[in-house]
Amino acid sequence: MLKYSIGDHVMYGMSGACEIVEIGTLEFAGPEKVYYSLKPVYDERDTIYVPVAKEDEIARKVVGKKEAQKTVKEIREGSIEGDLPDRDTCSTILQEADGLEVANLIRHLRLLRSQNKRNHKGLNIADAKLLTYAERIVTSELAVALTLSMEDAFSMLNEALG
């Protein structure tokens, strides 16, 4: 029994929200396996193939409208908590795609960027990528859950973050 169906919107790794567009067999240099074919919301030209046998790599389904609205409200009311996590913790936060935790990570990275700008520096490449992935994850989920364009969802995220 499959955990997901064609048409489901799911959260997958650094790609954020994706739609399952097909479930079927593919042959990649070995025996045929059944795969989920995912189309990222931010770039429908891309396709990601996830073996059904490894469907636990898919974090979860995209939240519903009410949960997304609640998340935006909580982001708006939140502030930076703790210190910037280490790289491994950041990767785990992004993989699990919890909107509030990812928003906290965005706050940390944006603060670091603004502090670095005062010293005429930017974010290092690794931190800049983390920020891009974090923004993509939250924005894509809001876009799907609230039926917004990526641009409108990004604006909503920026407004909520303050």
pLDDT tens for 78-90 read: 888 888 899 899 9
Tens-place pLDDT, residues 63-121: 999 999 999 999 999 888 888 899 899 999 999 999 999 999 999 999 999 998 888 88
Three-class SS state of 132: helix
CATH class of 9-61: mainly beta
Per CATH, 9-61 and 65-161 having the same topology is answered no
Mean pLDDT of the residues in the chain? 93
Q: Is the pLDDT reported for residue 28 higher than 80?
A: no
Ranges of each domain in the chain: 9-61, 65-161
107 half-sphere exposure, CB direction, 13 A CA radius: 19
Task: Name the nearest CA neighbour of 37 among 49, 55, 51.
Answer: 49
Find out whether 75 and 100 touch, Cβ atoms under 8 Å: yes
CATH number 1.10.730.10 given to 65-161: no
Instruction: Mark 57-82 as b/e (b = at least 16 C-beta within 10 Å).
Output: ebbeebbeeeebeebbeebeeeeeee
pTM over 0.85: yes
Find out whether 99 and 143 touch, Cβ atoms under 8 Å: no
Is the model more confident about 28 or about 11? 11
Sign of the torsion angle spanned by Cα atoms 132, 133, 138, 139:
positive
